[in-house]
Amino acid sequence: MYRIKNKAKFNLKTTYFTFWRRQFYIDISIAISLLLSPFLIYLHLLFNDNISHIQFFSFKINHGFPSNQTFAWLLLNNTVSFVMFAIWFFTSSKKWKYIIIPFLAIFFDRILTTLRFYTLFNHEFILVVAIIVYIILAIVVLYLDTIVFTKLRKKRLETSIKMLFKQDLELVYAKTTTILRSSVMGNSDNLTAKLYYYRNSLIEYLNKNNLYSMNAVIKKGKWINVLFALLLASMVFLLEIHQFVPPHQEQIDLGIVTLGKNGFIDITTFIYILTSKLSILISLMAWYVSCSYWWKYAIMSPITLFAYQSWEVWEDLQSIDAHRNLTVLSIVLLSFMLVLALSRFISNKAEVLDFYEYLNSEIENQLSKESITENLTLFRKKYYDLKQVNYKKTMIKDYLRNLNDLKNDLKDQLK
């Protein structure tokens, strides 16, 4: 926390910059990433579908795929999925979050495979190299989660849609600015008593409206945690189920439904794309349900797009993840507008919470002054002496009167 030197140009947002303002910037960055990252998949349409190599000046890179568009599509799909699941893992406080690590490993492995990383090694060492890559990835992820992101999860900004219809936070924010400006500009009459009063009033308001959350861990029933764990574990299996499909098979009879190539080059490719879309979609829905951050509505953007893409896989089309996906853009825009509206509310809330931290700091600063400290020591001694006196029942009134006098003296000291 710091104060600006030029007091004539007072601004709450630039004068006091503490945890909650930084937390807001982190939250809004996450929300923007979730809203926009799914659209990166469509960048593959910018690549040439008739060229099967990438050329930088005189350097020619053969990626081994039928076209540059296919190469870019695979790389972007897996990268976007990796980023979304990484955000989920690092922001979650649930015990079952560690089941997300296999998702990260699978998507990271697919990225390396697309980039032909494993072709740099002899065939007999590929499995060993893959295991080493998984171990390094797990160590890095767990290290970042423990060292970096644990602190960010201890406190969180929370709100709900219904708070958008309440205007009282705007009034609190305006009052906060006025109070803070008066204290910075040097109006110190009864400053400690005023700060103490404003702090208690602010705590009462925050608690009344459920706006103050110091603990990011939300306890749920054990059966819910088990349900989420089983769901994620089954999605990991679904993500890799294409590995068990026999090659060169024309169709698979599942009893209820028979799966064919459905317009793809083979049934393995169809199963690969279908199960990838479905597993990501269901996992994102689980994330949305379990998420307690205010930016959870940003998850609706990838959910909407992956839902449409999952349906599109079943259609007899010449291409997927193409311009037809723009038909769901209106739904994504609704999600964007909702997050934008909530972000404005959260921004004001962050300022109010920062003001609360400022009040605590200023009260401690006032109480730490030498003159007050000496008098408080004296008050403690007087209070201790009062407690040591063995008052008889007939002297209770005298004890209460002395205690009340001590309280009034302490109030006068705080003025």
Burial 201-213 (b: 16+ CB within 10 A, else e): ebeebbeeeebbe
Token code pair at residue 404: 């009340």
pLDDT at 134 over 90: yes
Query: Is there a contact between 169 and 349 (Cβ–Cβ < 8 Å)?
Result: yes
DSSP letter at 149 equals: I
User: 396 versus 275: which is more confidently predicted?
Assistant: 275
pLDDT at 179 over 90: no
- Residue 276 main-chain phi, psi, to 5 deg: -65, -45
Query: Is there a contact between 358 and 323 (Cβ–Cβ < 8 Å)?
Result: no
pLDDT tier at 389, thresholds 50, 70, 90:
low
pLDDT at 176 over 60: no
Token code pair at residue 202: 């602010």
246-304 pLDDT, tens per residue?
Answer: 777 777 777 777 777 777 788 888 888 889 999 999 999 999 999 888 899 999 999 99
Give mean pLDDT, residues 163-183. Answer: 53
User: 196 versus 82: which is more confidently predicted?
Assistant: 82
192-216 pLDDT, tens per residue?
Answer: 566 666 666 666 666 655 554 444 4
Indicate the SS3 state at residue 253. Answer: strand
Reported pTM: 0.74
Residue with tokens 């689980």: 286
pLDDT at 84 over 80: yes
Give mean pLDDT, residues 49-64. Answer: 79
Helical (H) or strand (E) element with 60: strand 59-62
Distances (CA, A) of 387 to 274, 312, 381, 400: 76, 78, 10, 11
Looking at residue 233, its amino acid is A
Q: What is the pLDDT of residue 415?
A: 56
CA distance 330 to 240: 32
Token code pair at residue 94: 């649930």
